[in-house]
């Protein structure tokens, strides 16, 4: 058992040794860390959204490609052209300005 | 729901905690910064008292305020803000001590851990340098077991009552009293030579 005056002095000595502060600039360090964590939170939220959107976009692209391919059955288009719904390009259509732009351009006949 | 309109003036050191919290909730970092400065001392006393000065303590101190910022919307003011923060700081410190103990056990044997405290030098007039005595006392507190140290930090460094200490630590009042009694006995054995003689307690630290 510690006698009372000693206990009081001991308690006072211990109280006086209580650390009063962190190293200088503590509040700045807290605010910097807070800002870093906010930026990280924003980036990870973007990542989460991206991860949600990517499968949906891929599924939509697949459905569209299948739809295009189904619609192009019986034509001479290659499966790739059919999936992307690319127009048939022949030599004559390539030379025809009209067929490309839908505008009739008067052509000079020699 | 319409938000409460905050008074349109700048925050100062005299702005109340409630107003600072309301502003911080609304995204005012300046208000949160004032809260950090206001309670830095209390958190330092807890965290440095538990972990000793160093990067670990600074990290736990910062994390305390980051956790508080995250839980700003949940803080209802049922306890004082200081008690709320000290509670977070104490839990984080105890977790840090557990992590430290795990890594220490991996690399250091138990015997290496028990080192003698470098005693403060006593001058010819019987006076002990105030700074050295403080270091000595902190080192003595740091050598207490984790549970005893937590009680000393809260009861003596933070001046909490037995009841408040019990609430923060989640133990019965009687446990706080018995741990404090044992801790004081241990500390008395180490510090008595510097406490019994009035001359060894410099006025500058009292």
State the Cα–Cα distance between residues B160 and A94, nearest whole angstrom: 89
The answer to whether B187 contacts A10, with C-beta atoms less than 8 Å apart, is yes
The reply to whether B79 and B137 lie within a common domain is no
The pLDDT value recorded for residue B205 is 41
Residue B200 predicted with pLDDT over 60? no
Q: How many CB pairs under 8 A join A and B?
A: 105
Q: Is residue B200 a part of any domain in this protein?
A: yes
Query: Is residue B165 domain-resident?
Result: yes
- Whether the per-residue pLDDT at B31 is higher than 80: the answer is yes
Q: Are residues B81 and B34 in the same domain?
A: yes
- Shared domain check, B104 and B149: no
Q: For position B194, which CATH number holds?
A: 1.10.10.10
CB-based contact B196 A6, cutoff 8 Å: yes
Do B48 and B131 sit in the same domain of this protein? no
Considering its fold, how many domains does chain B have in total? 2
Question: What pLDDT score was predicted for residue B206?
Answer: 38
Of these ranges, B3-12, B74-83, B106-115, the one predicted with the greatest mean pLDDT is B74-83
Residue of A nearest to B141 (CA): A14
Domain CATH for B17? 1.10.1740.10
Q: Which residues pair with B122 in a beta bridge?
A: B128
Question: How confident is residue B43, by pLDDT bands cut at 50, 70 and 90?
Answer: very high
Residue closest to B43 by CA, chosen among B96, B78, B87, B95: B87
- Model confidence pLDDT, tens digit, residues A23-61: 999 999 999 999 999 999 888 889 999 999 999 999 999
Q: Considering only CB atoms, which chain A residues are within 8 Å of B206?
A: 12, 16
Q: Is residue B203 predicted with pLDDT exceeding 70?
A: no
- Is residue B18 included in any domain, yes or no? yes
Which residue from B minimizes the CA distance to A32?
B62
Examine the domain organization and report whether B92 and B129 are in the same domain.
Answer: no
Query: Averaged over B175-190, what is the pLDDT?
Result: 93
Same domain? B20 vs B62: yes
One domain for residues B169 and B202: yes
Q: Please indicate, yes or no, if residue B105 is contained in any of the structural domains.
A: yes
Instruction: Inform me whether the pLDDT recorded for B174 exceeds 90.
Output: yes
Q: What is the pLDDT of residue A104?
A: 59
Name the pLDDT band for B85 (thresholds 50, 70, 90): very high
Which sign, positive or negative, has the C-alpha torsion A61, A66, A67, A69?
Answer: positive
**Looking at B109, B141, B156, which one is the last position of a domain?**
B109
Instruction: Report how far residue B172's alpha carbon sits from residue B177's, in angstroms, rounded to the nearest whole number.
Output: 9
**Domain termination residue (choose one: B89, B109, B129):** B109
Stretch B57-84: mean pLDDT: 93
Mean pLDDT of B51-66: 94
Prediction pTM value: 0.72
List the domain range (segments joined by +) for residue B44.
12-109
What was the ipTM of the complex prediction?
A: 0.77
Q: Is residue B1 part of a domain?
A: no
User: Is A31 within 8 Å of B31 (Cβ atoms)?
Assistant: no
Tokens of B93: 């410190």
Taking contacts as CB-CB distances below 8 angstroms, the residues of chain B near A2 are 184-185, 188
pLDDT tens digits, A55-94 = 999 999 999 999 988 888 888 788 888 888 887 777 777 6
Task: Answer positive or negative: Cα dihedral of B190, B194, B198, B203.
Answer: negative
pLDDT for residue B10:
74
Q: Is the pLDDT of residue B156 over 70?
A: yes
Same domain, yes or no: B71 and B140 = no
B62-67 mean pLDDT = 97
Q: How far is B132 from chain A (nearest CA, A)?
A: 10
Looking at the structure, do residues B105 and B138 belong to the same domain, yes or no? no
Whether residues B151 and B99 share a domain: the answer is: no
pLDDT(B33) > 90: yes
Percent of chain B scoring above 90 in pLDDT: 60
CB atoms within 10 A of CB B156: 27
User: Is B180 part of any domain?
Assistant: yes
The pLDDT of residue B6 = 57
| Least confident piece of the model among B19-28, B87-96, B194-203 | B194-203
Cα–Cα distance list, A106 to A79, A91, B38, B183 (Å): 36, 19, 84, 104
- Do residues B181 and B130 share a domain? yes
Let me know whether B124 and B83 are in one domain: no
Distance CA A60, CA A67 (A): 10
Q: Which residue of A has its CA nearest to B28?
A: A31
B3 within some domain: no
């Amino acid at each position: 058992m510690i006698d009372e005056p000693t206990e009081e002095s001991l308690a006072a000595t211990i109280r006086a040794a209580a650390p009063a502060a962190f190293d200088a600039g503590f509040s700045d360090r807290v605010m910097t860390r807070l800002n870093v964590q906010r930026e990280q939170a924003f980036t990870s939220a973007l990542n989460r959204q991206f991860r949600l959107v990517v499968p949906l976009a891929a599924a939509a692209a697949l459905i569209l490609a299948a739809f295009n391919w189904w619609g192009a059955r019986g034509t001479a288009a290659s499966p790739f052209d059919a999936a992307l719904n690319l127009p048939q390009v022949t030599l004559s259509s390539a030379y025809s300005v009209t067929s490309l732009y839908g505008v009739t351009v008067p052509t000079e006949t020699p | 729901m319409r938000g409460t309109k905050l008074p349109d003036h700048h925050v100062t050191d005299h702005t109340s905690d409630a107003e600072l919290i309301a502003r911080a909730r609304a995204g005012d970092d300046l208000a949160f910064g004032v809260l950090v400065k206001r309670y830095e001392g209390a958190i330092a006393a807890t965290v440095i008292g538990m972990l000793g000065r160093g990067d670990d303590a600074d990290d736990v101190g910062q994390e305390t305020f980051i956790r508080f910022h995250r839980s700003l919307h949940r803080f209802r003011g049922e306890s004082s803000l200081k008690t709320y923060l000290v509670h977070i700081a104490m839990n984080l410190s105890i977790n840090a001590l557990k992590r430290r103990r795990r890594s220490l056990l991996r690399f250091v044997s138990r015997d290496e851990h028990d080192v003698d405290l470098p005693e403060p030098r006593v001058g010819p007039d019987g006076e002990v340098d105030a700074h050295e005595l403080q270091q000595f006392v902190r080192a003595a507190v740091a050598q207490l077991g984790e549970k005893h140290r937590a009680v000393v930090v809260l009861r003596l460094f933070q001046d909490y009552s037995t009841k408040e200490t019990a609430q923060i630590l989640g133990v019965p009042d009687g446990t706080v009293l018995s741990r404090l009694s044992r801790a004081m006995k241990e500390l008395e054995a180490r510090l008595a030579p510097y406490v019994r003689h009035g001359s060894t307690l410099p006025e500058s630290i009292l």
